[in-house]
């Protein structure tokens, strides 16, 4: 174990100081895009104010949480891809006053009980079901955030992310990344600037090839090599405002732009220099007790069979109730991938 830790640290050091030894993977650690409370996902991942601890840790460290209490905790659970993939996210925030806050969050996305059939055939070539074992594929992220009220309008924040990923006993990865953000507030208007993986994130993969190399070679598959993945920085700009419709109802529309410099994604606008994504959302609140949310994100052009292009997006919707210090939020929508279909998220939050 000590030797393994040494190899991970050594490989990460090489990737930082000698980036030419690593490879840029634009979808590296993409599971982090799932992180967040159901209330944040329901509004298209665009909100700034009133965020939960998990949203602050994994999405916007300079966003404003609940400033009326000293702390908050939340837990989110979801089943994805026909309940085969399990999503869990928990976080806690400590805010002794309005000047600074500390937050800690843990995310897990995994598929369990996958059948391993590498040894399905015995040495004589006969099938033997007792030789089938099971393993899990899981991705973990631990986030630690700090935010500081700079002055009457600006709040600054940063997050350090530690990544751990494994494919059973076949492969393991460790990684590191940093996010930074700034939020400007003026009356009912807020705008946030978020830099994700601002220094690039680095993930080192180590494969236990002795467990499967002979089978891979025999079946004509490529045996993977130890590698380092680099995720380049991306940037988001969020805007949110608030309207009092009457004494009981408040409306908070929001919008976000996502920029990927020097990376080509299937986004609303893209070129070889930058790809630009777009998301919108809104929240309707009744007496601070009931919230109805809706959003649309991941706008992109899809090629059709006849050669034409169709504009697709991922709609989301949800509802939240806030009885006292507790809140329960539910979201339904396609917030992962078009091929994975619609999903459910449920979040429980508590103020203390």
Query: How many Cβ atoms from other residues are within 10 Å of residue 66's Cβ?
Result: 19
- Give the range with max mean pLDDT: 170-184, 198-212, 327-341: 170-184
Instruction: Please give the Cα distance from 89 to 141 (Å, whole number).
Output: 9
Per-residue pLDDT averaged across 257-275, rounded?
A: 85
Length of the chain: 352
Domains and CATH numbers, the chain: 2-351 (2.40.160.40)
Question: Which DSSP symbol is given to 222?
Answer: P
Which of 79, 134, 82 has the alpha carbon at shortest distance from 110? 79
Report the share of the chain in percent with pLDDT over 90: 55
Asked whether the predicted pLDDT for residue 2 surpasses 80, the reply is: no
pLDDT tens figures, 297-323: 988 888 778 878 888 888 999 999 998
Binning pLDDT at 50, 70 and 90, where does residue 15 land? Answer: low
The mean predicted confidence, pLDDT, of the chain is 87
pLDDT of residue 14: 52
Asked whether the predicted pLDDT for residue 352 surpasses 90, the reply is: no
| Residue 301 structure tokens | 């052009």
Asked whether the predicted pLDDT for residue 288 surpasses 80, the reply is: yes
Binning pLDDT at 50, 70 and 90, where does residue 3 land? Answer: very low
pLDDT of residue 181: 97
Number of separate helices (H) and strands (E) present in the chain? 4, 19
Binning pLDDT at 50, 70 and 90, where does residue 195 land? Answer: very high
| Residue 95 structure tokens | 């805010």
pLDDT of residue 7: 46
| Positive or negative: CA dihedral 110, 113, 117, 118 | positive
Instruction: Output the CA angle 250-251-257, nearest 5 degrees.
Output: 150
What percent of the residues of the chain are helix, what percent strand, and what percent coil, each to the nearest 5? Answer: 15, 55, 30
pLDDT tens figures, 16-34: 555 555 777 778 888 998 8
pLDDT of residue 251: 97
Helix (H, G, I), strand (E, B), or coil: what is residue 12? helix
């Amino acid at each position: 174990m000590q030797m393994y830790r040494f190899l991970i640290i050594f490989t990460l050091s090489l990737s930082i100081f000698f980036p030419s030894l690593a490879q840029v993977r634009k979808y590296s650690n993409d599971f982090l895009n799932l992180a967040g409370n159901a209330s944040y996902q329901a509004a298209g991942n665009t909100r700034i104010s009133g965020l939960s601890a998990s949203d602050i840790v994994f999405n916007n460290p300079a966003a404003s949480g609940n400033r009326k209490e000293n702390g908050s905790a939340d837990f989110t659970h979801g089943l994805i891809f026909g309940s085969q993939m399990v999503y869990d996210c928990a976080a806690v925030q400590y805010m002794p006053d309005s000047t600074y806050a500390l937050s800690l969050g843990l995310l897990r996305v995994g598929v369990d009980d996958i059948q391993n059939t590498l040894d399905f055939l015995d040495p004589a070539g006969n099938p033997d079901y007792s030789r089938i074992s099971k393993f899990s594929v899981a991705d973990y992220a631990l986030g630690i955030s700090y935010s500081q009220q700079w002055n009457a309008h600006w709040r600054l924040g940063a997050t350090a992310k530690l990544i751990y990923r494994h494919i059973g006993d076949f492969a393991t990865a460790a990684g590191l990344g940093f996010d930074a953000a700034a939020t400007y507030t003026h009356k009912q208007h807020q705008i946030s600037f978020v830099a994700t993986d601002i220094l690039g994130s680095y993930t080192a993969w180590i494969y236990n090839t002795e467990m499967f190399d002979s089978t891979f070679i025999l079946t004509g598959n490529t045996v993977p090599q130890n590698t380092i993945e680099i995720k380049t920085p991306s940037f988001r700009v969020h805007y949110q405002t608030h309207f009092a419709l009457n004494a009981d109802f408040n409306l908070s529309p929001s919008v976000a732009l996502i920029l990927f410099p020097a990376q080509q994604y299937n986004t609303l606008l893209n070129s070889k220099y930058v790809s630009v994504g777009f998301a919108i959302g809104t929240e309707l609140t009744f007496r601070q007790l009931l919230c109805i949310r809706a959003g649309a994100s991941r706008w992109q052009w899809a090629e059709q069979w006849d050669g034409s292009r169709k504009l697709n997006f991922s709609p989301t919707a949800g509802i939240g109730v806030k009885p006292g210090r507790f809140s329960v939020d539910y979201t339904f929508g396609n917030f992962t991938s078009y091929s994975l279909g619609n999903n459910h998220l449920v979040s429980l939050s508590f103020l203390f």
